[in-house]
A = this chain, B = another copy of it.
Amino acid sequence: MPDRSYHHGHLRAALLDQAERTLREQGIEGLSLRDLARQTGVSHAAPRRHFPDRQALLDALAEVGFLRLGDALAAVLDEAGEDYEKRLRAVATGYVRFATENAALLDLMFATKNTGPSDAVRAASARLFTSVGELIAEGQQAGVLPPGDLERLRLLLVATLQGIAALVTSGRARPEQTGPLIADAAGLFLRR
């Protein structure tokens, strides 16, 4: 018998936690509001207070995903030291690793929606992309990245990393090819 008072103020977080687990294990198709409520020990209508519909849950998960990815990249940069090429390769590796280890989450984060991303998701992704932009600016100032429009180069880098992850998770590239692909991509940007 679940302690109902536990969820006072924590139900939203509990649901999101469980949703992340289910997403990892079952993929996005296996994510059901009713199932989530069941596993969290509340009635099937309880999640509605926090997530008005299924899309609201997916948006919340996408937002969490962008925050987590941002944290992961910040951690990777912390350990990467001073050498710029090493920093760029570390971020590229970290991005693709996160994307392939959280494939269903990445699908959510970059899902095609008629309406475009919600405001919260847009804000979370903007923060991530801004930090990638700072890394790009760093490289341009150091003269090891091609000059030109910062935003375009930033988008192209993210696109390349996202595309590599998509090929791997969709089974179009073998996992062992991930490393070489990232190396080749970094080489293109670093004009090697």
Task: Report which A residues bind B (CB closer than 8 A).
Answer: 27, 103-104, 107, 109-114, 116-117, 122, 125, 129, 146, 148-149, 151-153, 155-156, 158-164, 166-167, 169-173, 177, 180-181, 184-185, 188-189, 191
Contact = CB atoms under 8 A, between A and B. Distances in A.
Interface centre among A113, A155, A177 (most CB of B within 10 A): A155
A133 B184 CA distance: 16
A171 B109 CA distance: 11
A162 B167 CA distance: 9
Contact of A188 (B110, B149, B161, B188): B188
| Chain A contact residues: helix, strand, loop or mixed | helix
Given A159-B160, A185-B156, A189-B188, A170 B27 contact: no
Given A104-B112, A152-B181, A166 B171 contact: no
B170 A112 contact: yes
Contacts of A173: 155, 159
24 contacts: A27-B112, A27-B113, A103-B112, A104-B112, A107-B111, A110-B166, A113-B170, A148-B184, A152-B177, A152-B184, A153-B184, A156-B185, A156-B188, A159-B163, A159-B164, A159-B173, A159-B181, A160-B163, A161-B163, A162-B163, A163-B163, A163-B164, A166-B166, A188-B189
Contact of A116 (B104, B113, B151, B171): B171
Given A153-B184, A180-B152, A125 B172 contact: yes
A64 B55 CA distance: 28
Interface centre among A107, A122, A146, A163 (most CB of B within 10 A): A163
Contact of A112 (B107, B117, B188): B107
